[in-house]
Structure 1
Amino acid sequence: MARPDRTALCSLALVLVFLPVAGACLLPLVLLARRALGAPLWLGYGLWLISAACYGLRPVQLAMARLLWPIRRPTAAERARLERIWRQVIAQADVSGRRFRIRVVDLTEANAHSVGRDLICVTTGALDQLGDRELAGVLAHELGHHLRMHTSVSAFLVWVLLPLQGIALLGSLLATPVAALANALGTEPHPASGYGPRRWVCGCARAAFRLGHGIRVVFAAPGVAAFAAKNAAGRSAEYRVDAFAVDIGLGPELLSALRWFAANESTGCGLLGDSHQENEYGRSGRARHAAVRIPRPTHPPLDRRMARIAARVGLCDA
């Protein structure tokens, strides 16, 4: 049965903390709609809250996943293999697998991720390169995310943070002409000797550069702080669902998968995200949610995860 753990509750607390900030970020847009269309403030914010409710619907989550990744239904051969492994996972977890859906992502990187309330995506690279044993460990990990409600709560957190990203984009747009001015004037850090026009121009260029950088920093600061907190919660979630896989008897399988990823780290593969400072599917070239563009690790290092799993498996075997 799905129930939130401490990590999911922490993400929910972040939703409540950043909700007023997001509302303030939306205020200019709501005021613009009021001026242009005569719409009252409550209507703009009401539509925003309705969009949050829609974000939790299955069709919307599937549409978002299709927008962000090249997902598809498994082929007959892929379905037969995935269903065989999935039956083993849900049997050991003692849950019903009917509510969950598995989709395939056409990417050569071996990886997997969970979306919303019930969607699990596995890349073709994972299907081609991982054995059944390793895939069972990966699917157990993703099932843990859903049963602990990590992904469903995180989806609402990402939704709350969208206005903060919009403000960061606005700051970038405002800083663009200032940066263009700095480039036009020249960006030499130290002007030539003397007190002529060149020194004055270089001083103006440095001032324009600092102004543009300051605008970007000020507008991006709320989003950076929010995503840093979100990613910290995400790292905690990884440890918890690794422990879940161990508790249902699939710890050795997950450990085997992590060891495979560690051995193939030089190829750019990483289990379930950026465990070695690489964003999830960071080399696919596909558009993805802006949440993963923040240059902060969302997953703990592989060696730490493997050490914890090995210790827990040893404890369970004792």
Structure 2
Amino acid sequence: MALLSGRRHLKARQRGVDRAALWQLVVTLPTALVSLFVVAAVFTVISPVLGALMMVAWLFSGPLVFHRRTEAAIARHFMGMCRPSPADARRLEEVWGEVTRRAGVRQETYELWIQERGELNATAAAGHIVGVTRHAMDRLPNSQLAAILAHELGHHVGGHTWAGMLADWYALPARTLGRWIIAGLSKLVSSRNRHGLAWGGCLSLLLLLFLYTLAFTLGMWWLVLLVAVTPLLISWLHRRAEARADDYACGLGFGAELMAVLAQEHQNRTTPPPTAPWPNSTPAHPSHPGTAHTRVKGAHRDYAARLRHLQQGIHPPKR
């Protein structure tokens, strides 16, 4: 990594909101409305006044993720992050200084934390935290470490981190309720008890009747349709955000280094785990059938797509 290269002056605009972040907020709006209804319904059962107060409190709870102490608590307790040791802090300060100098961003705007995960990766959290995995700290040279930090800075500058945090927070009650309903119905329908099977069938029919009434009788088919396709749209927007953050890192001059990291992670995710020799052969990482294969296959598609995108950006095809 060539130090003291690139931009040295601060940009007048430190961060913004690109289309991927903006559309993520727009797409999540129907699910957020359902969440607001869920919060109001649960507390209105206790007291109508409490239901109204909780609706207002829920609406104003989202911006708390930008409060530094709240953000630090979320990073520590829910994302498994911790503050770096003095030695790690000195190394990160040197690498992060080069990244922010090239980007024209204030170095002190963001805090670097360590995340105990076995991946060559980093994570952008809420508004001010970038988490670097311990595996990346131990395995990557400074140039490649700077590449993944530049990628995460691209998420922050593009507004992907805070938009994603707000979207996930406001959609949490609706998604939790949906998971509970699906899990309960699946357990009843798959049970060998005929009473449980009967209850599962009746509740499934009631759910279908409710959705039919909501969509066609009350004319809110658009809400049902949007909530149903929201997960697909969110997944597509996440891929767009990753591509934009890759472009940002490439624009700062870390394209080749980022491609090397992605290629290494792609190889780690697609290479099957080693097995012991026969006759005492046992899986190195036992799991449920199909779980590991599905996860590796999904990661294979993501990293392969990002590698192709970066390859086209660095070496565009000749016409």
Band the TM-score falls in, shorter-chain normalisation: 0.7 to 0.9
Q: CA deviation at 1:250?
A: 1.3
* Aligned partner (choices 76, 79, 94) of residue 104 of structure 2: 94
Q: CA deviation at 1:12?
A: 2.0
Counterpart position of 1:17: 30
Q: Distance in 1 between matches of 2:299 and 2:18?
A: 18
Q: CA deviation at 1:117?
A: 0.8
Counterpart position of 1:4: 17
Partner-residue secondary structure (3-state), 2:46 = helix
Q: Residue type matched to 1:74 in 2?
A: P
Q: Distance in 1 between matches of 2:182 and 2:166?
A: 25
Q: CA deviation at 1:33?
A: 3.0
Q: Distance in 2 between matches of 1:26 and 1:169?
A: 16
Q: Residue type matched to 1:25 in 2?
A: V
Partner-residue secondary structure (3-state), 2:137 = helix
Counterpart position of 2:220: none
Counterpart position of 1:144: 154
Counterpart position of 1:132: 142
Q: Distance in 2 between matches of 1:214 and 1:101?
A: 51
Give the TM-score, by structure 1 length. 0.74
Counterpart position of 2:266: 262
Q: CA deviation at 1:103?
A: 0.3
User: Structure 1 residues 213, 297: closer, same or farther in 2, change over 3 A?
Assistant: farther
Q: Distance in 2 between matches of 1:307 and 1:7?
A: 20
Partner-residue secondary structure (3-state), 1:259 = helix
User: Structure 1 residues 10, 222: closer, same or farther in 2, change over 3 A?
Assistant: closer
User: 5+ residue gaps in structure 1?
Assistant: 186-203, 270-282, 284-293
Partner-residue secondary structure (3-state), 1:249 = helix
Partner-residue secondary structure (3-state), 2:108 = coil
Q: Is the 8 A contact 1:104 1:124 kept in 2?
A: yes
- Superposition pairs of residues 185-224 of structure 1, within 5 angstroms: 185=194, 210=201
Counterpart position of 2:74: 64
Q: CA deviation at 1:175?
A: 3.2
* Aligned partner (choices 18, 38, 43) of residue 30 of structure 1: 43
User: Structure 1 residues 56, 314: closer, same or farther in 2, change over 3 A?
Assistant: same
- Asked whether 1:242 is paired with 2:210, we answer no
Counterpart position of 2:9: none
Q: Is the 8 A contact 1:178 1:212 kept in 2?
A: no
Q: Residue type matched to 1:237 in 2?
A: A
* Aligned partner (choices 117, 129, 139) of residue 107 of structure 1: 117
Counterpart position of 2:5: none
Q: CA deviation at 1:213?
A: 6.7
Counterpart position of 2:58: 48
Q: Is the 8 A contact 1:234 1:299 kept in 2?
A: no
User: Structure 1 residues 59, 29: closer, same or farther in 2, change over 3 A?
Assistant: same
* Aligned partner (choices 164, 169, 185) of residue 154 of structure 1: 164
Q: Residue type matched to 2:193 in 1?
A: A
Measured against aligned partners, the alpha-carbon deviations of 1:174-210 in whole angstroms (never above 9, x if no partner) come to: 5377348x3234xxxxxxxxxxxxxxxxxx7765565
User: 5+ residue gaps in structure 2?
Assistant: 1-13, 212-223, 274-284, 286-294
Deviates more, 1:169-178 or 1:61-70: 169-178
Q: Is the 8 A contact 1:165 1:223 kept in 2?
A: no
Q: Is the 8 A contact 1:238 1:299 kept in 2?
A: no
Q: CA deviation at 1:18?
A: 2.9
Partner-residue secondary structure (3-state), 1:26 = helix
Counterpart position of 2:217: none
Q: Is the 8 A contact 1:111 1:122 kept in 2?
A: yes
Q: Residue type matched to 1:82 in 2?
A: L
Deviates more, 1:141-150 or 1:159-168: 159-168
Counterpart position of 2:127: 117
Partner-residue secondary structure (3-state), 1:248 = helix
User: Structure 1 residues 75, 235: closer, same or farther in 2, change over 3 A?
Assistant: same
Q: Distance in 2 between matches of 1:215 and 1:121?
A: 45
Q: CA deviation at 1:70?
A: 2.2
Q: CA deviation at 1:240?
A: 0.7
Q: Distance in 2 between matches of 1:155 and 1:45?
A: 19
Q: Residue type matched to 1:33 in 2?
A: I
